[in-house]
Amino acid sequence: MTISAEHEVISDMIMSMMGVDRLAYVKSVHDEDDTYYAVYAADGTRLATFDCRDEAFCTVRKHNLTPVSIH
């Protein structure tokens, strides 16, 4: 099996059709002594940070987005 090194660019319209514009990713971030939870848009833009994972998920849902946990 050969895998091409070329990457196709997926347009914003296709991503929107796939529902990516309605997702927000929640990732735990470990700092020196603390852990906090960052919320990211599908394009990787950091939207917010929270001390509590549940608060991050609730806020994402409050803004009519679907939270997805990533590690």
Residue 1 belongs to some domain of the structure: no
| 57 within a domain of the structure (yes/no) | yes
Its pTM stands at: 0.70
Q: Is 4 part of a structural domain of the chain? A: no
Confidence of residue 4 (pLDDT cuts 50, 70, 90): very low
Decide if 37 is inside a domain: yes
Query: Could you tell me which of 9, 2, 56, 4 has the C-alpha nearest to residue 29?
Result: 56
What local confidence, expressed as pLDDT, does residue 3 receive?
46
In a domain, 33, yes or no: yes
Cβ neighbours for 69, distance < 8 A, ≥ 6 positions apart: 25, 26, 27
Give the per-residue pLDDT at 19.
61
pLDDT digit string, tens, across residues 50-69: 999 999 999 999 999 889 88
Q: Over the stretch 14-37, which tens digit does the pLDDT of each residue have?
A: 655 556 678 899 999 998 889 999
The whole domain housing 47 covers 20-70
Q: Is residue 11 part of a domain?
A: no
pLDDT at position 29, please? 93
- Give the residues across from 26 on adjacent strands: 39, 69
Number of structural domains found in the chain: 1
- List strands edge to edge, sheet with 23-30: 46-50, 35-41, 23-30, 66-70
Is the residue at 27 inside a domain? yes
Cα 12 to Cα 32: distance, rounded to the nearest angstrom: 36
